[in-house]
Every structure is written in structure tokens, then in C-alpha cells.
Amino acid sequence: MHFRTGTVNNGDTALLESRLLYPKRGYQCLQFFYYNSGGPVDTLKIFVREYNKANPNGALRFIKTIDGSPQELWQLHHVSLDVKTKFRVVFQATKEGPGPSMGGLSLDDINLSETTCPEFIWRVKNFSNVMENTPTNTAIYSPPFTSKEGYTFQMGLYPSGKEGYPGELSAYAHLVAREGDTGQKWPCPWKQMTMMLMDQHPHIQKRMSNQRSVTTDPNMKATGSDVFFWDDPRKVGVEVTDTDGSRYFRGPGAGTPVYLTHLRARSRDFIKGGDAIFLLTMEDVSHLTVTQPLPSTTVPPVTSSSPSNVTTAPSDLCLNVQCLNDGVCVMDEGKAVCRCAVGDDWWYYGESCQYKGNAMDKTTLALASSLSVLGVMLVVTVVSVICVKKKYKKHSGDNSVVMANMHITEKL
């Protein structure tokens, strides 16, 4: 979609509406690339048109406004939706403010998935050049991001790899503490930081993004130390100065020295328009550490009965059945039978799993059958040829003409 704002009046709009969508979950993530070459106050609004019994023709619900000054790049945007009935996505571009503009508003690579949206975007410009010219064991860092969990973190990337890992991208996650940060619990308990290098293929189903997650274990200690690894960065980290002059504390990093090879990073659409895009998220996973209650053990009541009424429990029937070769006795329609062990290319069979078969036996049997058929066909062919030859020879004998030389003496 492109909405040219240079030739329209203030307040003019353009609409782009999707096809009908039928959600299976109660949450969605709308992802698209947006290019603003129009006026600084031109806007793009996102709506959903929801259909239900009360609104069979659809009711518009406003979701978000995207605005900002024009930039000479395609900006990646994520918009979280929470639609539960069939719906359409509606984009509304609006010319705002007087005066002409040279371009307009453009949309591309629009995708909708039933997933949660990533929290943060870190765009590394001219990424190929960064990989080629950054020394080994030298890191670049994303801006610090404060998650909805209240913790601040950042990604550390080694474009030329850690020492000993040439030709690799190495990625690490760090906790960050700024001046005035309060309310966090230290050591940081069970937060999962995900670092994803986005495959920028236009079709979301054909993407093969690369990601690695790091989880903060509050009991983890630094190697050779009694200090908790994920403790307050003001205690276990170092003070650093950002490019804008701000100061904060960065804790130790955890991750992998083999995040992605340079060869793989240059393939597919990891780098597009010269830029690489990392999607960063922190979420709470403490609910996964809660121990599930064990099921209660119930003891069947003991009852007494006369010997004439005693019946054999189904499991007792297996006492008289012997299964060989790791076979297991099970009940099948009231009878005790053996279930035999089976491997990738072998199996046991028989009433007691006493016989063993394998794929080689099947191959040998198939080969023998083929050779037998071939032999029979050969015999039939030979017999047929002999019979035809005999028949032909007999036919030739019945119709033969015997010629003899005759000497005639004529008396003159």
C-alpha cells in the first residue's frame, strides 16, 4: 500500500482492509514494515473490524496510532491484538497538517500470526560491514530495555565471535541496573531473555529466524565464586557509559559463543537493505518451576469372601504366561497375551516372543521369491522354445519333396 500525501488535502484518508480472519486464540501479533516519506504529522491508524451477532456488518475498534517524523528506512512495527471473533484488520492513512509533501506513507510485508509480539527491536545498520570490521572478542551492545517484568536487560553481540570461535556470531544476555531502579528482587528469579535474529523474508511462514534464550536461575553462582551470577548488577557488574552519556551498571553475560555462523548470517534474509534486526523479549517463567502435586495414593478396601466367590484378578492371569526376549504380558479382551519387543529393523514374534525377525530376513525372502519367479519363467520359456522347434520340425517333414537324379538312355 502507498498513500501519496503530496497531492491530497488536509484530512484526506486512504483505507486498506484485510480479508476475513478467523482467530483460534485470543491474541495475535500484527507485523509490518512502514515507510514514511510524507509529512512529519501524517499518521497511520490501526483498527479491527469485529463481526458478531450484535454487529453482523462489523464494528470498528481503534487499536493504535503510528506517527513520527519521516525516516529514510523501512521501520518494523509490531501491534498486539486481542480479537476473539472473526475480524478484519483496517489500516487508515491520514494526511495531517497543511502544506505539500514530497512522498507519502507506504506499507509492505504485512503478516498476522497468533503469537505474542516481541517487546523490543534492536536494528544494527550496515551489519555486513560490522561483521567484517569488528575485532575478535569485541562486543557491541543493544540499548538497555526495561521489560514489563520491571527488569532492565540488554544483548551483547560479538560480530566476529569470541576468542577461539572465528567466523561465528556470539550472543550474550546481560541484566542492567540504572540509577534509581527499585523494587526488583535479587538475585533475579526465573526470567527468560530471548534474543532472535529475524529472518526478514516477506512471507512469515517461510522465515527461519535464529534465536537463543537465557533463563536467570537465582541459585546460579559465578564460576569459582560464591557470588550469585544474576545478583544486582550494582553489586556484581561494572559501571559503563552509554553513547548518550548516561551511566548504568551491566551485569555478567550468559549466552553462547556459537549463536550463528557468518556464512549462515549472509544467507536467506537475515540481512536486508544492509541491516540486521534483533527481536528481544523478557518474560517470567517462574510458573514452570512450581512442583506439581503428586497424585494421592488410594488403597483398595480389603474385603473378605467365601472361597467359592473368589475370582482371579485380571493381572493374575499373567502369572502363568512367560514372555521371552523382553516381552511384556498384557491383558487383551480378557486374555493374557505377550507384547513383543520391536526395534528399528528387528522384532520378536510368536506366542511367547520366541522367534526373531529382521529386515534382512525380509530382504532375503524377497530376493529368493524374485529368483524363484525368474527361474520358473526361464523354465517355461525353454520348454516353450523346445516345443515350438519340435512342432516346426514335424511340419517340415510332412511337406518335404524327395528329389533323385534320373539317367535316361534313349535308344536311337
Query: What confidence score (pLDDT) does residue 366 get?
Result: 75
125: helix, coil or strand? coil
Buried b (16+ CB within 10 A) or exposed e, 80-109: ebebeeebbbbbbbbbeeeeebebbbbbeb
> Who contacts 299 (Cβ-Cβ below 8 Å, separation ≥6)?
none
Rounded to whole angstroms, how far apart are CA atoms 313 and 109?
65
Query: What confidence score (pLDDT) does residue 300 get?
Result: 58
Kind and range of the H or E element at 363? helix 359-398
Kind and range of the H or E element at 382? helix 359-398
The answer to whether the predicted template modeling score (pTM) of the entire model surpasses 0.75 is no
What residues does 16 pair with on adjacent strands?
91
Kind and range of the H or E element at 364? helix 359-398
Rounded to whole angstroms, how far apart are CA atoms 406 and 314?
106
Under 8 Å between Cβ of 80 and 27 = yes
- Phi, psi (rounded to 5 degrees) for 84: -115, -10
**DSSP secondary-structure letter at 53?**
S
Tens-level pLDDT at each residue, the chain (412 residues) = 888 887 788 888 999 999 999 999 999 999 999 999 888 888 999 999 999 999 999 999 999 999 888 888 999 999 999 999 999 999 999 988 777 777 889 999 999 999 999 999 999 999 999 999 999 999 999 999 999 989 999 999 999 999 999 999 999 999 999 988 888 999 999 999 999 999 999 999 999 999 999 999 999 999 889 999 999 999 999 999 998 899 999 999 999 999 999 999 998 999 999 999 999 999 999 999 887 776 665 555 555 444 444 444 445 678 778 888 878 888 887 788 888 888 777 788 888 888 888 777 667 777 778 888 888 888 888 888 888 887 777 665 555 444 444 444 344 3
Angle, alpha carbons 73-119-64 (nearest 5°):
70
Query: What confidence score (pLDDT) does residue 303 get?
Result: 54
In 285-354, the DSSP E strands lie at 328-332, 335-339, 346-349
Under 8 Å between Cβ of 143 and 137 = no
Under 8 Å between Cβ of 18 and 105 = no
Helices (H), 225-303: 233-236, 262-265
Rounded to whole angstroms, how far apart are CA atoms 171 and 158?
6
> Who contacts 33 (Cβ-Cβ below 8 Å, separation ≥6)?
74, 75, 76, 77, 107, 108, 109
Which residue ranges form the domains of the chain, and what is each CATH number?
1-116 (2.60.120.200), 118-287 (2.60.210.10), 315-357 (2.10.25)
Rounded to whole angstroms, how far apart are CA atoms 80 and 1?
21
